[in-house]
Amino acid sequence: MPQAFEQRTEVEQLRARVTELERELAERTRRATAAVAHAEDRLYWLDRWQIDLNRVMETRAGQTVFQAAKLLRRTTRLAGRARRSITR
């Protein structure tokens, strides 16, 4: 009788563990699918125009545009910093 009780308890514990693991899996699935959906929403226009940005950036033209953008950003920052130091 005590052995049967112990077995039942063990089964219940195992079931509870399965339920907990299933709940964790469900949560992970929810987060993963939400992340994919979010990424799809962000990529909409690239997807719509069938632009592979990675491939574009591997080209010389892509790299030139990228370097120019970096230079422009740095120049803007320096100019802003200079303006702030003058007007301080």
Q: How many CB atoms lie within 10 A of CB 15?
A: 10
**Is 21 near another protein (CB under 8 A)?**
no
Residue type, 53: L
Q: In the complex, what is the shortest distance from the CB of residue 13 to another protein, in angstroms, rounded to a whole number?
A: 14
Q: In the complex, what is the shortest distance from the CB of residue 56 to another protein, in angstroms, rounded to a whole number?
A: 16
Residue type, 8: R
Tell me whether residue 48 or residue 84 sits nearer to another protein (CB atom). 48
**Is 44 near another protein (CB under 8 A)?**
yes
Contact residue for another protein among 8, 17, 30, 73 (CB under 8 A): 30
Contact 47, 39 (CB under 8 A): no
